[in-house]
């Protein structure tokens, strides 16, 4: 059976990719190379009367190699000059951080003893979580996290694949701010499924069905005890910048909630269900992200704004 191939659907390219302005080099790369060659030219003009050209070329060769590596080299998607700048900033940043929004007091002076460097105040990643699930950024922006369903693309016919791609392209073309798609894996808890099967088995209309349900419950229990069963979760994080840069004219929280609704409406055309997480769900998600090895239960989650206590009750 053959299908008519519909025209290709245009999907926007990486709009954050820097433009190439000269010989396939970006403006940043051209600036690094131009600065290096300018320094070498000044040094050559100052020393060419006293230093032979081969000697100067041998001394300048390492500088040229370093400049080329800084301009064109990359590691983990970052250029070497950005990595060096990040390493320099990290070397000058405090090694210890403390949760002290009011500031870290200076240690008491002890005669003859040099005090260790005090810790710096840790910067909060977000200001709070509203009951509607809006994560308030520490800089004044806002983030909404949505749970996204998946689609089996390979099992669809070519016309259906074209329709799904068109729906995804419509959403990408409608973006007015940054979004992030996160695929996270975690341990699956099979206890609710095992308990539901064991409770429902006696009410089944035939003894064979009851036996099959109990056997399946035993299989799931054994699987959970002997294997690490993983579950996959797809999340869509919709981000709105600080209010001074927001494009909605209003607060960042209202604008990001509107954009999450637009995502749910547009992705429905691609057979994708988008569900906005509320405050408790976002709190549980952040707790799971910071401690992925531990099971997430209601007893482990603190109510937003309340102190976190240990299992024994001590703060």
The strand pairing partners of 275, in sequence order, are 147
The number of CA neighbours under 13 Å toward the Cβ of 257 is 14
DSSP β-ladder status, 230-240 and 120-121: unpaired
Q: Which residues of 224-259 are buried (b: 16+ CB within 10 A; e: fewer)?
A: beeeeeeeeeebbbbbbbebeebeeeeebbebbbeb
The residue-averaged pLDDT of 70-80 equals 82
Q: Where are the alpha helices (DSSP H) in the chain?
A: 27-47, 53-72, 80-92, 158-174, 191-200, 207-226, 252-267, 279-290
Report DSSP state, residue 157: -
Identify the weakest region by mean pLDDT among 13-22, 29-38, 291-300: 291-300
Q: How far is CA 62 from the centre of its chain?
A: 38
The residue-averaged pLDDT of 296-313 equals 44
Q: Residue 236: pLDDT above 80?
A: yes
| Of 277, 24, 301, 291, nearest in space to 134 by CA | 277
Encode pLDDT of 181-201 as tens digits. Answer: 988 887 788 888 899 999 999
Per-residue confidence at 213, pLDDT binned at 50, 70, 90?
Answer: very high
Top pLDDT among 88 and 112 is at: 88
Q: In the prediction, which pLDDT does 235 show?
A: 92
Q: In the prediction, which pLDDT does 264 show?
A: 92
Place of tokens 């245009």: 10
Q: Residue 68: pLDDT above 80?
A: yes
Q: In the prediction, which pLDDT does 294 show?
A: 60
- Each domain of the chain, given as residue ranges in start order, spans 20-92, 126-188+229-298
Q: Cβ of 129: how many Cβ atoms within 10 Å? A: 22
Determine the Cα–Cα distance for residues 134 and 251; give it in Å rounded to an integer.
12
- What is residue 137's three-state secondary structure? strand
Helix (H) or strand (E) holding 180: strand 179-187
Q: Residue 225: pLDDT above 70?
A: yes
Fold of the domain spanning 126-188+229-298:
Alpha-Beta Plaits (3.30.70)
Q: Residue 299: pLDDT above 50?
A: no
Q: Residue 265: pLDDT above 50?
A: yes
Determine the Cα–Cα distance for residues 235 and 153; give it in Å rounded to an integer.
18
DSSP β-ladder status, 20-22 and 274-276: unpaired
Q: Residue 287: pLDDT above 90?
A: no
Q: Residue 211: pLDDT above 90?
A: yes
The strand pairing partners of 136, in sequence order, are 128, 142
Structure-block tokens of residue 220: 């799931």
Per-residue confidence at 216, pLDDT binned at 50, 70, 90?
Answer: very high
Helix (H) or strand (E) holding 239: strand 230-240
Encode pLDDT of 93-115 as tens digits. Answer: 877 777 777 777 777 777 877 77
Q: Residue 43: pLDDT above 70?
A: yes
């Amino acid at each position: 059976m053959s299908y008519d191939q519909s025209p290709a659907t245009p999907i926007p390219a990486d709009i954050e990719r820097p433009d190439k302005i000269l010989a396939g080099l970006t403006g940043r790369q051209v600036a690094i190379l131009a600065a290096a060659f300018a320094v070498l030219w000044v040094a050559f003009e100052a020393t060419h009367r006293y230093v032979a050209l081969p000697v100067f070329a041998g001394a300048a060769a390492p500088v040229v190699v370093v400049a080329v590596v800084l301009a064109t080299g990359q590691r983990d998607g970052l250029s070497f000059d950005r990595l060096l700048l990040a390493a320099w900033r990290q070397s000058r940043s405090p090694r210890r951080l403390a949760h002290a929004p009011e500031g870290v007091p200076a240690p008491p002076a002890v005669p003859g003893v040099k005090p260790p460097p005090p810790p710096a105040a840790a910067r909060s990643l977000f200001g709070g979580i509203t009951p509607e699930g809006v994560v308030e950024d520490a800089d004044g922006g806002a983030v909404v996290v949505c749970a996204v369903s998946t689609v089996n693309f390979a099992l669809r016919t070519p016309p259906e694949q074209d329709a799904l791609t068109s729906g995804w392209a419509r959403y990408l073309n409608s973006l007015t701010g940054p979004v992030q798609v996160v695929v996270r894996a975690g341990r699956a808890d099979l206890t609710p499924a095992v308990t539901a099967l064991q409770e429902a088995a006696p009410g089944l209309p035939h003894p064979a069905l009851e036996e099959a349900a109990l056997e399946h419950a035993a299989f799931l229990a054994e699987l959970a005890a002997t294997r690490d069963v993983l579950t996959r979760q797809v999340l869509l994080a919709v981000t709105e910048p600080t209010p001074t840069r927001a494009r909605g004219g209003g607060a960042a929280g209202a604008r990001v909630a509107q954009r999450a609704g637009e995502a749910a409406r547009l992705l429905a055309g691609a057979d994708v269900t988008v569900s906005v997480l509320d405050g408790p769900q976002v709190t549980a998600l952040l707790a799971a992200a910071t401690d992925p090895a531990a099971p997430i239960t209601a007893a482990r989650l603190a109510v937003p704004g309340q102190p976190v206590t240990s299992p024994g009750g001590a703060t």
